[in-house]
Structure 1
Amino acid sequence: MSATSRRRSHTSASSTRPSRWTRRSPGTPGEPRGATLLETIGRTSGLPRRTPLGGRRVGQEFWLLSEYGEKSQYIRNIKADPKVRVRVNGRWHHGTAHLLPEDDARARLKSLPRMNSAAVRAAT
């Protein structure tokens, strides 16, 4: 299966049924421990959009890689409005996202959690 058809099937499936992570409100009992959510503002709707993702907090920064690069909806939202919130270990942190397309994705993956980055590794 090509990367384009994988992306289409994943995008189609995820747009028709909400993620179990995004249906729960923060702090809901039974929420996966260490669940990380990125909240962006929808570029068209102006509504908050939450995306479960993997990454790592380093000091006051949170590093992540997008599975589909600039084709990811949350990356498109960040381009339109870089103000974001990240929920790490049950606490929300406000910040401004900075896209780094020139960064070496393969080298960056080595510093991120292995399980959270498995899908990104498969796509790159």
Structure 2
Amino acid sequence: MSRYDGLKHRAVTTLQRRIVNPVSRRLPLQTVLETTGRTSGLPRRTPVGGRRVGDSFWLVSEYGEKSQYVRNIRANSTVRVRIKGRWYAGTAHVLPDDDPIARLKSLPRHNSTVVRLVGTDLLTVRVDLV
């Protein structure tokens, strides 16, 4: 990661953690990924953008392995996803061999544009819904 990428990562994650995420996760129709904190064991809810395709939910992480929710998934792949106000249990899979740029083309346009603009290390995640 370049120095610029590091500065961008810190600026964007600070904005997301302090302003965007607290507001977004309260919106009833915002898609939210709930993981279990790898240290605390507490539920951690992160607003995400993605799309349900059949019995799977697909998303692309902006910061790959640096994303806290990706690190939580690595520790415990059991997650929940709130889609259109309804919660679904699932198992998350980090897919480093998937092409995240190609994947973004199949996901909602607005979110995909933001992910490409602010992301520095894109990584695909698939949640198999139960």
Measured against the shorter chain, the TM-score band is: 0.7 to 0.9
Q: Could you tell me how far apart the structure 2 residues matched to 1:87 and 1:16 are?
A: 21
Pair member with larger Rg: 1
Q: Is the 8 A contact 2:105 2:112 kept in 1?
A: no
Q: Could you tell me how far apart the structure 1 residues matched to 2:13 and 2:58 are?
A: 23
Offset at residue 35 of structure 1 (A):
1.1
> Cα RMSD over matched residues?
1.8
User: What TM-score does the superposition give when structure 2 sets the normalisation length?
Assistant: 0.81
User: What TM-score does the superposition give when structure 1 sets the normalisation length?
Assistant: 0.85
Aligned residues: 116
1:29-108 equivalent positions in 2, closer than 5 A: 31=27, 34-108=29-103
Which consecutive residues of structure 1, in runs of 5 or more, have no partner in the other structure? 25-30
Misfit runs of 4+, over 6 Å: none
**Secondary structure at 1:94's aligned position in 2?**
strand
More strand by share: 2
Offset at residue 15 of structure 1 (A):
4.0
Offset at residue 121 of structure 1 (A):
1.3
Q: Could you tell me how far apart the structure 2 residues matched to 1:61 and 1:95 are?
A: 9
